[in-house]
Structure 1
């Protein structure tokens, strides 16, 4: 079986692949940012546990929307993945530091 001679670099840098990668970054890395952000907020808000968790979960939707907007506003899809995963890692380090 002979594979066609595809230019893989051009294929990966094509517009549909770029949009798909940004969409996956917005969905999955955005969820990760929202989850770690709300987890950190639940730990640092000085209210009873049930109220701080409720406030953090309500604010997680704004984190998720901000991450999705960020994924489509940066220059490349690689930068979107890098930035969102880095933000999530920093938030997770803060969670470990606080708890």
Structure 2
């Protein structure tokens, strides 16, 4: 069995892989940011529990959109992944600290 001679460095650095990685960062890491921001806001907004959760859920759409825009505005796809995951982890740590 003969494997084709692929240039893996060129394949990984291709534009298609870059766009796919940014898309996955926007979808999955953006969802992580939106979900953790929603949970954090639901805990810290000084309203009754139902109104606080509803307000946080409505605001989470703006966090998701901002994360998607961020994923495509940074220089590299690795930076997009790193920044979004760090923001999501930070929000989660704050949730654990507040709760």
Q: TM-score, normalised by structure 2?
A: 0.99
Give, in angstroms, the shift of residue 9 of structure 1: 1.1
1:52 aligned counterpart, secondary structure:
helix
2:75 aligned counterpart, secondary structure:
coil
Q: Which runs of 5+ in 1 are unaligned?
A: none
State how many pairs are aligned: 99
Alignment of 1:73-88 (within 5 A): 73-88=73-88
Give, in angstroms, the shift of residue 5 of structure 1: 1.1
Q: TM-score, normalised by structure 1?
A: 0.99
Give, in angstroms, the shift of residue 32 of structure 1: 0.4
Give, in angstroms, the shift of residue 25 of structure 1: 0.3
2:66 aligned counterpart, secondary structure:
helix
Alignment of 1:17-56 (within 5 A): 17-56=17-56
Of 85-94 and 1-10, the range deviating more from structure 2? 1-10
